[in-house]
Chains A and B, each alone.
Chain A
Amino acid sequence: MRRTFAPWADPDAKPLIRFENVTKRFGEAVAVDHLTLDVFEGEFFCLLGPSGCGKTTLMRMLAGFEFPTEGVITLAGQSLEGVPPYRRPVNMMFQSYALFPHMSVEKNIAFGLKQDGLPKAEIADRVGEMLRLVQLEKLARRYPSQLSGGQRQRVALARALAKRPKVLLLDEPLGALDKKLREETQFELMDIQHELGMTFVVVTHDQEEAMTMADRIAVMDHGRIVQVATPGEIYEQPKTRFIAEFVGDVNILEGHVQGQENGLWHVKSPSAEAPLTIDDPDEVLHSGQAVAIAVRPEKMVVQREKPGPDALNVLTGEVWDIGYLGDWTVYRIRLATGEILRVSCANVSRFVESPIDWDEQVYVTFAPGAAVILAE
């Protein structure tokens, strides 16, 4: 069911949230720069980018803590212009969790419902429901200072979900958790989102987190959106060098276009003796154009034997470093040009007869379809 969910591909679908040419300036500094973006109902949407890229400002504008300098934000077709945070059907889970320290867990969760003036019995029901959802029934009467980091995170989530907002905003929701807990919580968040069918907008600087959870990711840089796509597209077809380098690990080979033959591009790079052959038919390039070729480490192969004369995309170097990670081994290969390539190799077998060793002369190859050409 999840797999067929792609409202962004449907031209008739109406977005739930729409940023139209939104700009936000703080004095001279431009935090968000003429940004246009659609988010659809039921989406798990991630805003990804380095710190200072404007993702948090974008989220705060959605929550109503900041207002756009120019442009309009609409929610379910209605403009949010001048609507204060307490009148928006949007709730936020804060990075610091912002739990009220003078209120118990129950009171924290009930806070938003009380503001709506719901009857007491209904508030109690909903609080109970939320506590069950985040598995904190036993801690209802505790105070935030008596909870662990993971428990606080759940309370914050339950409090933000209690009002059943149209959109839930999550600001670095897992940032304060340790690695193991973070991974578990990622899947829990996805389950909860799926169960409630709510629209989640998550701000994160952690690309792994974004890749795991999101239906779509918007990569931001300097107040602009560089690419909006599914995690797979972002990883396999990054639009720019910035995205290729920001999301996952990547090897970049620089070169100049020589020409096209049978739909394959030939690129002359100082890193390789023979011209490189790249299968990236969507790119429109001209001869002599400077380009960057991006190849993911797991799409490169390292071998000791010299490849045959017909082999494409052969690079020569020596092993500079070996990192054994258990599931993967990462080789750092130094080319004659001084560039260091990162090649990762799945450890499919428990024993290897003569493993590649430090300082050995090796050959690195990759298939034409493994690489992406990025216009400089």
Chain B
Amino acid sequence: MTRRLSLFNITSLVLGFAFLYLPILLLVVYSFNGSRLVTVWGGFSTQWYGALFRNQALMEAAWVTLRIALLSASIATVLGTLAALALTRYGRFTGRTLFTGMVYAPMVMPEVITGLSLLLFFVAIDLDRGFWTITLAHTTLTMCFVTVVVQARLMTFDRSLEEAAMDLGAPPLRTFFSVTLPLIAPSIVAGFLLAFTLSLDDLVIASFNTGPGATTLPIKIYSQVRLGLSPEINAASTILIGLVTAGVISATLLSKRSVLRSRRNAH
């Protein structure tokens, strides 16, 4: 494990990360470009960030995206946590394996299919496409991620803590809110952050289920790029990257911490 880094290791590490992050780095660097031309470096400038905040259409798209992400992540967190509780707590009910599989399926389902099937469903129930359909679609997409994260925590949860609370006089509901919930909270927050970031950067499902007046930032960026590259888009993308990175990193840290804590208390 503690073997020294050899030249070969260093080279492959650099190449691997370059392959992964060079395009993104380029985009971030060019968002600070002083020139109007996307491919020519014209000195450092933050003018495109200023332009971005003055761009009414982009800002509106960002606002819609943020609202959808917050709302769908909140619903997904509640539903996902409930699903995780049901799947870990209610013993071996018939079809538990099937249900577990069905909860996980959206994670591996091609987004095109999820998007298309949701569109068909919304058309069938005659729901006007727009803000709410994207929110619902994103809830469907992200719920399973919450379930996975919360379930991982519940698996290591010491049930005797809940028994102790009940033994000391707390009825089931109060036990849940005073003991279970505070202890699994980090993983719930982690699940929420994951759901939030997933919703934030989703393009495929959003484009299937969007309608008039509900253009999310990824949709907006995508359609603008088709008309030609603009440094403003680089700036917008950089901010989006920053948000998503922050979300994923905190989610990882939170769930790691909560698992560590539960392990420490097992001793």
**A interface residues with partner B (beta carbon < 8 Å):** 63-65, 84-87, 90-92, 94-96, 98-102, 111-112, 115-116, 144-145, 159-160, 163
Contact = CB atoms under 8 A, between A and B. Distances in A.
A74 B169 CA distance: 19
A94 B160 contact: yes
B159 to A, nearest CB: 9
B265 A101 contact: yes
Given A98-B164, A145-B265, A112 B169 contact: yes
Contacts of B178: 111
Interface residues of B, number: 21
Interface in B249-267: 261, 264-266
B91 to A, nearest CB: 12
Contacts of B174: 115
A63 B265 contact: no
A159 B168 CA distance: 8
Given A100-B179, A115-B169, A163-B169, A65 B265 contact: no
Contacts of A145: 261, 264-265
A96 B161 CA distance: 9
Kindly name the residue among B164, B183, B261 whose own CB sees the greatest number of chain A CB atoms within 10 A. Answer: B164
Nearest to B170: A115
Contacts of A96: 158, 160, 266
B182 A102 contact: yes
Interface string B148-185: 00000000001011011111111100100011001100
A87 B165 CA distance: 12
Given A92-B164, A115-B169, A160-B167, 11 more contacts: A86-B168, A86-B170, A87-B169, A96-B266, A99-B164, A100-B179, A101-B264, A111-B168, A111-B170, A112-B168, A159-B164
Contacts of A144: 265
A163 B166 CA distance: 13
Contacts of B265: 99, 101, 144-145
Given A91-B168, A112-B168, A98 B183 contact: no
B166 A98 contact: no
A91 B166 CA distance: 10
15 contacts: A86-B166, A86-B170, A96-B158, A96-B160, A96-B266, A98-B164, A99-B164, A99-B265, A100-B164, A101-B183, A111-B165, A111-B178, A145-B264, A163-B168, A163-B169
A163 B167 CA distance: 11
B167 to A, nearest CB: 5
A94 B164 contact: yes
A154 to B, nearest CB: 15
Nearest to B164: A98
A100 B167 contact: no
A144 B158 CA distance: 14
Contacts of B183: 101-102
Given A100-B179, A102-B183, A145-B264, A115 B163 contact: no
A94 B169 contact: no
A90 B169 CA distance: 10
